[in-house]
């Protein structure tokens, strides 16, 4: 189905279903209950999940397949964001031209940075990309203020030209990003009993873009090009003695993953038309590395899972403060309540990085293949009996690729 | 005129003359063995031929086209494949994927951006890979990860990867090193078959004289980086200079 093999098609359908029903799935707790703050089914959150998923999926094309660890991918996300906002300022508030330009500009940047960085491999490559990203950040923050807005970030204003759109709405406001007139922030809410589900245009648009990009990624993984990228990771010396030039393969992978990052940046500003330099900071680059490793490097679904976990932790765990904790343990005796609150407090709220760090350490130590490997191990417990028949079944042998 | 002509190759590593005025003329369709004691410069010579090392002076012509100055992948695309002393394969990939890569390299050249077409739809390509695997008796191992193969299987896989490229010159660096006698004989049979059926020119470095005398049409003896003699196996066996430099140590 879809020109994919049965296993990939099944995975893709599952991902599509998750995207489609995310507003329900991420809102399992009734409104007003104590657990409602664990709900992630609000548009802003779902958009971030999908956009960072896209970012990580693209990053995985480079890191997962070729093994080249870029530590500067946030630069492309930032460049994409700036390019998107400039499209909103100059051309129109329609998101389509903004996304196209974001992707192209990020592609150009990655071509330039990749061309230079890929002259080295291993740690030197990582350091070079990191240096370039920090350069982009510093430039955006200082010298390039006229283009990037510097500290305040790049914002829309009422006197932007917007030659194909309107400068301001009838009410004198800045227009919102839209898809041929359909505003990104439009949403309908469905109330079912105590639950309330929000369906927003922005989320479904981002999910559609993600679905297309993910489809492309699956095809790429199973293509001759994808095989060559894995060959780069496996043995570059054999590759060159087999008549293959590894450099253009790695550069193509770098540019494709840079364009994914630019597309993610364009989507970010389509949801909220504001771009700041901190998006290019090295911590942002590090985050996408964490997402990919946490989920499972080189697998199709891993980066999505990793991005989901990290984005969720960041948004939800960081909002838990001491008042919330005290509310949870209200029923307990005062001494025990305070004790528990004091134990948990460092791990939540502004200390959510501690939780993230612990999760990361545990995964890397005990599940080097990330969440995907964990899932496989659990799955293996149930399907061990069928295993022998499975290995016989794997027929057309050229394609069994990495991960599911 | 040979298919491969090596003229006046010199290579120094610091104070060590690794290759001194090496001349070599490999005839098309022949099997040319290069023998010599350890440190004679045999592997250095192969490294020069595949573009891994650049010599200080000299020329290398393959089918009347210059080889020196080209990158390893360009030299391979000219029709020269190499089997290494320690098998160089794609350990993370399956045996079948290992076979598909050289076929793609032969078909699409050193770079092609086929990111949308799907490997499993490439019927002729998969069939060719399977056919080659069958020839080296590895078809049943096609879904195994290459790094989990035995040493002998890794060698056979590497050989199959080189052959499926349909090279016009095959360089073999001690293809039977560390093999048991039975495996060595299998390799000899395989190489003989390759030579007769596919008419591939071979240049082989080998320590095992049994292998050398079973396969070679001509032998060059290297000692301390310089060619001592070049002759037919029959003449080499009795050559006094060769006995002195090399065969004195081994039994023939």
- pLDDT tens for B185-206 read 888 988 888 888 888 999 999 8
Q: Is the dihedral of CA A174, A176, A179, A183 positive or negative?
A: negative
Cβ contact, residue pair A235, B89, below 8 Å: yes
> How far apart, in whole angstroms, are the C-alpha atoms of residue A246 and residue B229?
40
pLDDT band (50, 70, 90) for residue A329: confident
Whether residue A199 is contained in a domain is answered as yes
Complex-level ipTM: 0.92
Domain annotation covers residue A250: yes
- Residue A359 domain-assigned (yes or no): no
Helix (H) or strand (E) holding B31: strand B31-35
pLDDT, tens only, B123-156 = 999 999 999 999 888 999 999 999 999 888 898 8
Integer Cα distance of B197 and B201 in angstroms:
11
Record the tokens describing residue B230, joined without a space. Answer: 């070049």
Range with the poorest average pLDDT among A82-96, A218-232, A237-251, B206-220: B206-220
Residue of A nearest to B114 (CA): A225
In a domain, A58, yes or no: yes
A396 has pLDDT over 50: no
Domains of chain B: which residue ranges? 1-79+167-252, 91-165
Residue in chain A nearest B142 by alpha carbon: A397
Fold annotation for B1-79+167-252: Rossmann fold (3.40.50)
Q: How far is A117 from chain B (nearest CA, A)?
A: 19
A402 inside domain: no
Residue A388 lies in a domain: no
Q: Say what percent of chain A tops pLDDT 70.
A: 95
Q: Return d(Cα B35, Cα B249) in angstroms, integer.
A: 13
**Residue of B81, B142, B165 with shortest CB distance to A397:** B142
Three-state SS at B176: coil
- Read off the pLDDT band of B72 (50, 70, 90): very high
Q: Which residues of A touch B73 (CB under 8 A)?
A: 239-245
> Does residue A174 belong to any structural domain of this protein?
yes
pLDDT for B246 equals 61
Is A404's pLDDT higher than 70?
Answer: no
What domain count does chain A have? 1
8 A C-beta contact, residue A241 and residue B82: yes
CA distance linking residue B112 with residue B98, whole number of Å: 17
d(CA A159, CA B59): 69
Residue A395 has a pLDDT of 39
Q: What is the CA radius of gyration of chain A?
A: 23
CATH at residue A26: 1.10.3470
What mean pLDDT is predicted for residues A282-306? 94
B97–A contact, CB cutoff 8 A: yes
**Owning domain of residue A244:** 6-281
As a whole number of angstroms, the distance between CA B249 and CA A76 comes to: 64
* Domain membership flag for residue A310: no
Question: Is A31 or A245 the better-scoring residue by pLDDT?
Answer: A245
Encoded tokens for A289 = 């590395």
How many angstroms separate the CA of residue A245 from the nearest CA in chain B? 5
Q: What is the pLDDT of residue A353?
A: 86
pLDDT of residue B252: 43
């Amino acid at each position: 189905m879809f020109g994919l093999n049965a296993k990939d098609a099944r995975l893709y359908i599952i991902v599509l279903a998750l995207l489609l029903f995310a507003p329900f799935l991420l809102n399992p707790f009734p409104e007003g209950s104590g657990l409602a703050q664990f709900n992630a089914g609000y548009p802003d959150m779902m958009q971030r999940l999908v956009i960072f998923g896209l970012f990580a999926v693209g990053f995985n094309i480079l890191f997962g397949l070729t093994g080249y660890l870029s530590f500067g991918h946030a630069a492309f996300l930032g460049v994409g964001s700036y390019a998107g906002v400039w499209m909103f300022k100059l051309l129109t508030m329609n998101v389509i031209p903004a996304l196209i330009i974001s992707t192209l500009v990020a592609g150009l940047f990655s071509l330039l940075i990749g061309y230079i960085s890929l002259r080295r491999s291993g740690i030197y490559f990582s350091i070079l990309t990191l240096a370039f990203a920090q350069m982009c950040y510093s430039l955006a923050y200082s010298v390039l203020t006229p283009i990037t807005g510097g500290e305040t970030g790049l914002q829309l204003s009422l006197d932007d030209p917007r030659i194909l759109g309107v400068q301001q709405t009838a009410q004198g406001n800045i227009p919102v990003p839209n898809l041929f007139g359909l505003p990104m922030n439009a949403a309908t809410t469905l109330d079912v009993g105590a639950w309330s589900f929000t369906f927003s245009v922005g989320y479904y648009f981002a999910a559609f873009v993600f679905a297309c990009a993910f489809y492309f990624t699956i095809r790429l993984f199973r293509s001759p090009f994808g095989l060559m990228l894995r060959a780069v990771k496996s043995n570059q010396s054999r590759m060159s003695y087999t008549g293959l030039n590894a450099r253009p393969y790695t550069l193509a992978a770098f540019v494709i993953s840079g364009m994914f990052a630019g597309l993610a940046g364009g989507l970010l500003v389509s949801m909220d038309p504001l771009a700041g330099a901190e998006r290019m900071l090295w911590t942002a680059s590090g985050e996408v590395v964490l997402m990919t490793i946490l989920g499972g490097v080189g697998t199709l679904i891993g980066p999505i899972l990793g991005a989901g976990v990290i984005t969720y932790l960041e948004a939800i765990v960081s909002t838990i403060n001491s008042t919330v904790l005290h509310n949870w343990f209200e029923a307990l005796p005062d001494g025990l309540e305070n004790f528990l609150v004091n134990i948990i407090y460092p791990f939540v709220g502004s200390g959510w990085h501690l939780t993230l760090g612990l999760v990361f350490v545990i995964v890397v130590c005990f599940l080097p293949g990330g969440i995907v490997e964990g899932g496989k191990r659990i799955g293996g417990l149930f399907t061990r009996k069928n295993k022998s028949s499975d290995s016989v079944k794997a027929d057309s042998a050229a394609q069994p690729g990495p991960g599911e | 005129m040979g298919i491969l002509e090596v003229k006046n190759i010199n290579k120094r590593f610091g104070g060590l003359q690794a290759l001194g005025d090496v001349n070599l003329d490999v005839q098309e369709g022949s099997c040319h063995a290069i023998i010599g004691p350890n440190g004679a410069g045999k592997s250095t010579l192969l490294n020069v031929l595949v573009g891994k090392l650049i010599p200080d002076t000299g020329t290398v012509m393959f089918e009347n086209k210059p080889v020196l100055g080209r990158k390893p992948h360009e030299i391979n695309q000219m029709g020269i494949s190499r089997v290494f002393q320690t098998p160089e394969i794609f350990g993370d990939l399956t045996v079948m994927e290992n076979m598909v890569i050289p076929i793609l390299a032969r078909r699409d050249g050193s770079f092609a951006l086929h990111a949308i077409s799907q490997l499993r739809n490439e019927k002729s390509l998969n069939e060719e890979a399977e056919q080659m695997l069958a020839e080296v008796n590895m078809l049943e191992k096609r879904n195994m990860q290459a790094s989990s193969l035995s040493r002998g299987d890794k060698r056979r896989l590497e050989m199959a990867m080189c052959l499926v490229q349909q090279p016009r010159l095959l360089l073999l660096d001690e293809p039977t090193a560390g093999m048991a006698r039975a495996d060595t004989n299998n390799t000899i049979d395989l190489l003989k078959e390759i030579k007769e059926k596919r008419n591939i020119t071979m240049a082989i470095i080998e320590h095992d004289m049994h292998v050398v005398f079973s396969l070679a049409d001509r032998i060059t003896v290297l000692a301390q980086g310089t060619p001592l003699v070049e002759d037919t196996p029959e003449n080499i066996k009795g050559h006094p200079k060769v006995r002195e430099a090399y065969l004195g140590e081994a039994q023939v």
